[in-house]
Structure 1
Amino acid sequence: MKITRIHHVAYRCKDAKETVDWYVKYLNMDFVLAIAEDQVPSTGAPDPYMHVFLDAGMGNVLAFFELPSQAPMGRDENTPAWVQHLAMEVGSMDELLATKERLQAAGIEVIGPTNHTIFKSIYFFDPNGHRLELAVNTATPEMQQKLDAVKWDMLNEWSQTRKAPKHAAWMHENPRADQQEQH
């Protein structure tokens, strides 16, 4: 067996309509499907929900569940807010910057662009508190080859030491201070 693609990624939302409207308005995603049930199909549990699906491009689907009978949604307080996020790719730096301007004009706080050497990205939160990242690739084939050549060495070293291996330190040499984000 080999995975062919992600069928969909699902998160919880506070309000399905607000969430769909926000993703359509700010990220230009298409609303493609809604499913509502009073029982969970996989478990049979009585738990009414609205399940909405948005087109994230190239067959990728982002979905949300509104669960009105559950306790208010929260987040893992032991995981920093910057860790758990959904990163989506855009086609150009112009698109990235235009989206940043549109989000900021609507009062949405945006961090970045952050220069990760192989891509540049911006970060912000959706109305449910989910952290989102929009990224534009900037890697050259040579960069990709260098990273591919050291990935297993880096992982194995990390597994033994739990300290950041320096095999790809070149990615962080002389970064512009205004484009850095701690993570």
Structure 2
Amino acid sequence: MTHDPTPTVPDHAGAAPDLLAHWVVKTARAKEMIAWYSTVFGAHVVHEDSQIAFLTWDDESHRLALVKVPRVLRYLFPLAHLRRKIYGVDHLALTFTPLERLLTNYERLKALGITPVWSINHGPTTSLYYEDPDGVRLELQTENFATAAETADYLHSTAFAANPIGVEFDPDYLLERLRRGDDPACLLERGAGTRPGTTSRANKRTITWKTL
């Protein structure tokens, strides 16, 4: 009896989800969290009681649920904030299309006192990182390539291997260039957001340890 050494490839058809429906955060700052997400995403409350609040900003029934925990736990916030930097989920990424929408939203939030903690062109994306009142980090991004296939090709390139984290940029300068009529496709390239007279900073550390 002969043995076929060819490994059996599992059938993953239908395994991938259709979309990310929502996420849930335990918080002692429900009021502040609702206000922040209302400002940043235009969220509104679809249900709230003493234990939980459901928010949405599009046609999904809810995108974010806030489980209310005792307010005394807010004093442990520094510890929770530190945990993100060393273990567990680091951030959630949400896509804005096109680049102009990402940058005009940046400008709107900046006028309201909400600014990114990190602005970086990863290569596959141009990304602005924000933190909500509980320190949950959100990456607001735009795709730098027109198709998923082009992104996949870039991820296999030597340029990405040499620096898989990216190059930091000045979002104000990128917005200036966009408004003066520069080609949006060129603005998605690494280094496009580096203001003349400054140095483009390549960040080769991992995202997890970026702000330790």
After TM superposition, is the score higher than 0.5?
yes
Q: What corresponds to 1:62 in structure 2?
A: 64
Number of corresponding residues: 152
Q: What corresponds to 1:18 in structure 2?
A: 32
Query: What is the CA–CA distance in structure 2 between the aligned matches of 1:76 and 1:30, rounded to whole Å?
Result: 25
> 1:178 offset after TM fit, Å?
4.1
- Which protein shows a greater Rg? 2
Change (3 A) 1:14 1:102: farther
- Among the aligned pairs, what percent are the same residue? 24
Change (3 A) 1:4 1:27: closer
> 1:56 offset after TM fit, Å?
5.0
Query: What is the CA–CA distance in structure 2 between the aligned matches of 1:69 and 1:13, rounded to whole Å?
Result: 8
Deviates more, 1:102-111 or 1:172-181: 172-181
> 1:67 offset after TM fit, Å?
0.7
Report the TM-score, using the length of structure 1 for normalisation. 0.65
> 1:99 offset after TM fit, Å?
1.8
Preserved CA contact (<8 Å) 2:81 2:135: no
Query: SS of 2:142's equivalent?
Result: strand
* 2:82 partner letter: E
Q: What corresponds to 1:108 in structure 2?
A: 114
Superposed CA offset, 1:90-131 (max 9, x none): 122122112212222222232454212221111121122211
Query: What is the CA–CA distance in structure 1 between the aligned matches of 2:97 and 2:109, rounded to whole Å?
Result: 17
> 1:135 offset after TM fit, Å?
0.8
User: Which one has the bigger strand percentage?
Assistant: 1
Matched, 1:146 2:166: no
Q: What corresponds to 2:129 in structure 1?
A: 123
> What 5-or-longer segments of structure 2 have no aligned partner?
1-13, 168-189, 192-198, 208-212
Superposed counterparts of 1:1-183, under 5 Å? 2=15, 3-36=17-50, 49=51, 51-55=52-56, 57=58, 59=60, 61-68=63-70, 71-72=73-74, 73-74=76-77, 75=80, 77-80=82-85, 84-111=90-117, 113-141=119-147, 142-146=149-153, 167-171=156-160, 172=163, 175-176=190-191, 178=200, 180-181=202-203, 182=205, 183=207
Query: What is the CA–CA distance in structure 1 between the aligned matches of 2:18 and 2:151, rounded to whole Å?
Result: 22
> 1:30 offset after TM fit, Å?
3.2
* 2:46 partner letter: V
Report the TM-score, using the length of structure 2 for normalisation. 0.57
